[in-house]
Amino acid sequence: MSTKRRGAALLAGLLFLAACQQAANIPNVVCAGEATTYVDWVQGDLAIAEPDAIEQPATTDDPADMLAIIRDRGEIVVSTDPNYAPQSFLNPDGSYEGFDIDVANEIAERLGVGIRFETPEWDAITAGSWSERWDISVGSMTVTDDRKGVLAFTRPYYYTPAQMAVATSANIDSLDQLPDELTVTTLPTDAECAQAIQAGRTEFVLWLSSSTTVAGAIAAGAPMEPLGDPVFAEPLSVAIDKSGPPHAELLFEIDRIIGEMHEDGTLTALSEQWFDGLDLTQTASQ
Amino acid sequence: MTVSAQAPRLPSLIEQIEGAQDRARTVFRLKFAGTWALLLGLLIFGLWATGNIDTTFIELWGPFILLGAPITILLSVVSIFFATLLAIVGAIARLSRNAYISGVASLYVSLVRGTPLLVQIAFIYFALPQFGIFIDSIPSGIIALSFNYGAYMTEVFRAGIQAVPRGQREAAASLGMPERLIMRRIVLPQAFRIVIPAIGNDFVAMVKDSALVSVISVQELLWRARQVGTQEFRNFEALLIAAAIYWIMTVVFSFGQERLEKRMARGDR
């Protein structure tokens, strides 16, 4: 081999090694789920919003409103993403279980209808334009300005702190040890970040997700640990597609039901049941 | 033992030869099956020996994943039926002497064969709603599969029709049969016989292509395997189960196709 060729190969090898070292030593890459607020936080443009105030609808018992349609049908169709323990997950017999599932069941019961779950992809749910394939989303969806453009939100039914987690192999124990400039890499959902780290991927050692998801993944065996206090908290609401049929009454009714569930303690009880005794249904004023 | 048998020993010689051939065939089959058993056994043993396979997971979630198989079969059976209908119409249209009809048919074939099946599935489910056409997930899958396979099978049927000896058509025409009757009574039945192996092949292929329908949230075999695999952090076992079930279905349907071909060939002298 000529000296030029050898030199080039050596240089390439050195650069490659340097890049590897960089990636391993400087933990500035955070994994987050696509289209989540965690991505926004890392990129510095978090835009959590409060849901708009819901006014009394102009009509009552309008047969064209989704509320009447659902009551006629006798069934409400709720979207869920069953890869999100403990909010929603699959059982071996094919049934769904979780905090969101229980909340949805409770809402259906108070509406006086049966319930059926659909399982579209998460970004299909957050993008709106549901094409009437399901009626509402009870999926721990964060209220953001972007989403308010395509979805109508009820008042929050609970809040979730966002928790940074780090792979145990990375030897980092406080948030101060992280560099100021963080970059984000996304996978289709939050849960897949933990699964990727467990599977041995090394492009990132940090994971930002809700504290309940992090706790759930660690309990299920992901080799990670929580890092520091929650970095922010977000309100989570039930959503309805704005581009669907008229839904002012449905929105108002579900919002009212959620208010009821807050007041009579149902939501608190469910939260404590599913989130290790924590009540996450109060305002995020911590 | 004496006498009589000055009769030629030919029959017993033939019997000997046939007996030897039968034995050779049986030996071959035994060796063949033995090789399969050995290789598969080695594979399963190797997997088990890694110690990394969670058999309790397989027992617990196997039934749930397996329940995706009926949906897969349903999708495939219904789609192959409509695809065959489309293919017959398409093939006759392609061979038509009317330029307009022929043009429409070949445009259909070209467009559908020229775009990926996945794109077609996504198009019907995600894109059509923009025009106000809402189709549920399973019907969307069936429509996409039928259209896609219909295009490929159009070409197969066209070849089948053209393979029917021209003499048949000429003889029928000289008897005064109208064109349509010739097609219906003489050409298509024979073309169908020729084309059965290809349809069988396409059906087996479609069983596996139906996995693509998981992207529009149909809870069939692949969707279930991926869902359970990611949820339980056990992707290998889940996908292995799915792959095994697909393979078993393929083997069963291929076997059935072979039997069908043998039965149809019995008519040949």
Chain A residue with Cα closest to B62? A92
pLDDT at position A52 is 83
User: B64 and A121 in contact by Cβ < 8 A?
Assistant: no
Selection from A126-130, A150-154, B5-9 with the highest mean pLDDT: A150-154
B60 and chain A: CB distance < 8 Å anywhere?
yes
CATH number for the domain spanning B252: value is 1.10.3720.10
Tell me whether residue B258 is in a domain. Answer: yes
Residue B48 in domain? no
Q: Is residue B198 part of a domain?
A: yes
pLDDT of residue A286 exceeding 70, the answer is no
Structure tokens at B97: 């002497």
Considering only the beta carbons, identify the residue of A120, A198, A199 that sits closest to B217.
A120
Q: Is the CB of A200 inside 8 Å of chain B's CB atoms?
A: no
pLDDT tens string A91-117:
999 899 999 999 999 999 999 999 999
Task: Tell whether B75 is covered by a domain.
Answer: yes
CATH superfamily of A66-159+235-274: Periplasmic binding protein-like II (3.40.190.10)
pTM: predicted TM-score of the whole model, two decimal places: 0.76
Q: Do B217 and A198 touch (CB under 8 A)?
A: no
User: Are B231 and A89 inside 8 Å of each other by CB?
Assistant: yes
Q: Band the pLDDT of A194: cuts 50, 70, 90.
A: confident
Question: Contact B137/B125 with Cβ under 8 angstroms?
Answer: yes
pLDDT for the residue B3: 55
Instruction: Please state the rounded mean pLDDT for residues A161-177.
Output: 83
pLDDT, tens digit, for every residue of A203-250?
888 888 888 788 888 888 888 888 888 888 888 999 999 988 999 999
Q: Is position B4 within any domain?
A: no
Q: A129–B129: do the CB atoms touch at under 8 Å?
A: yes
- Residues ≥6 apart with Cβ < 8 Å to A215: A163, A226, A275, A276
pLDDT at A1: 58
Residue B127 lies in a domain: yes
**Interface-testing mutation among B217, B218, B234, B236, with chain A (most A C-beta atoms within 10 A):** B217
Q: Cα–Cα distance between B223 and B65 in angstroms, integer?
A: 9
Backbone angles phi, psi at B48, to 5 degrees: -65, -35
How much of chain A, in percent, has pLDDT values that exceed 70? Answer: 95
Taking an 8 Å cut-off on Cβ atoms, the answer to whether A131 and B129 are in contact is: yes
Q: How many domains does chain B have?
A: 1
| Structural domain includes residue B40 | no
**Is the model's pLDDT at A125 over the cut of 80?**
yes
Domain that holds residue B152: 57-265
The ranges of chain B with pLDDT < 70 are: 1-10, 267-269
Output the six-digit token pair for A38. 């965690």
Calculate the average pLDDT of chain A. 85
Residue A279 has pLDDT above 90, yes or no: no
Q: Which CATH number fits domain A25-46+160-232: 3.30.70, 3.80.10, 3.40.190, 3.40.50?
A: 3.40.190
**Closest CB to A195 among B134, B219, B233:** B233
Contact in structure between A202 and A265 (CB atoms under 8 Å)? no
Q: How confident is the model at residue A285 (pLDDT cuts 50, 70, 90)?
A: very low
Phi, psi of B69 (to 5 degrees): -60, -45
Instruction: Please determine, for residue A18, whether its predicted confidence score (pLDDT) is greater than 70.
Output: no
DSSP output for chain B: --TTTTS-SHHHHHHHHHHHHHHHHHHHHHHHHHHHHHHHHHHHHHHHHTS---HHHHHHHHHHHHTHHHHHHHHHHHHHHHHHHHHHHHHHHHT-S-HHHHHHHHHHHHHHHHS-HHHHHHIIIIIGGGGT----HHHHHHHHHHHHHHHHHHHHHHHHHHHS-HHHHHHHHHTT--HHHIIIIIIHHHHHHHHHHHHHHHHHHHHHHGGGGGGGT--SHHHHHHHHHHHTT-HHHHHHHHHHHHHHHHHHHHHHHHHHHHHHHTT--
Residues of chain A with CATH 3.40.190.10: 66-159+235-274
